[in-house]
Amino acid sequence: MGPERRHRPEPAGTAASFGGRRSRRSPGAAHRPYGHEPDDRSGRLPPWRAGTRTQFLAARRPRGLGGEHAGGPQRARLRARSSPKQAGRVNGDEPRPKAWWRISRGRHVSIPHRLIAVAGALGLIALSAHPASAEPRPRKDEWWFPAWEIENAVWPLSKGAGITVGVLDSGVNPHLPELAGVVLKGADTAGGKSNGRKDLDVKEDGHGTTMAIMIAGQGGGSSGFVGIAPEAKILPVHVMSIDVLGPDRVDSDKAIADGIRFAVGKGAKVLNLSFGAGAPGTPDQCSREVRDAVTYAIQHDVVTVAAAGDTGNTNNFAEAPASCPGVLAVGGVDSDLRPWKGTQRQPYVAVAAPASGSVAIGKTGTVYSDAQGTSASAALVSGAVALVRAHNPQMSGRTVVQRLVATALPVSKPVPDKATGYGAIRIARAIDPAKYPVPADAPNPVYDRFDQSQRAAHKAMAATATPASETHRSGSSSISPAIYAALVGLAAVLIGCLAFLWLRHHRLSGAKRNGTKGSLT
- Catalytic site positions: 169, 207, 375
**Mode of pairing for the β-strands spanning 94-97 and 87-90:** antiparallel
**DSSP state letter for 14:** B
How far the first Cα of the chain sits from its last, in Å, is: 109
Distance, CA of 65 to CA of 201 (rounded, Å): 39
| Residue partners of 505: CB distance under 8 A and separation at least 6 | none
3-state SS, residue 269: coil
* Rounded-to-10 torsion of CA 391, 396, 399, 404: 50
b (16+ CB within 10 A) / e for 47-85: ebeeeebbbbbeeeebbbbbeeebbeeeeeebeeebeee
Among left, alpha and beta (phi > 0; psi -120 to 50; other), residue 206 is left
Check: CB of residue 278 under 8 Å from CB of residue 32. no
**DSSP state letter for 229:** -
Check: CB of residue 257 under 8 Å from CB of residue 293. yes
Please choose, from the candidates 80, 130, 86, 72, the residue with its C-alpha nearest in 3D space to the C-alpha of residue 109. Answer: 80
**DSSP state letter for 153:** I
Angle at 376 between CA 373 and CA 377, to 5 degrees: 90
Please choose, from the candidates 348, 354, 445, the residue with its C-alpha nearest in 3D space to the C-alpha of residue 144. Answer: 354
Distance, CA of 91 to CA of 406 (rounded, Å): 41
**Which run of H or of E encompasses 377?**
helix 374-391
Please choose, from the candidates 387, 300, 383, 307, the residue with its C-alpha nearest in 3D space to the C-alpha of residue 343. Answer: 307
- Amino acid identity of residue 469, one-letter, is S
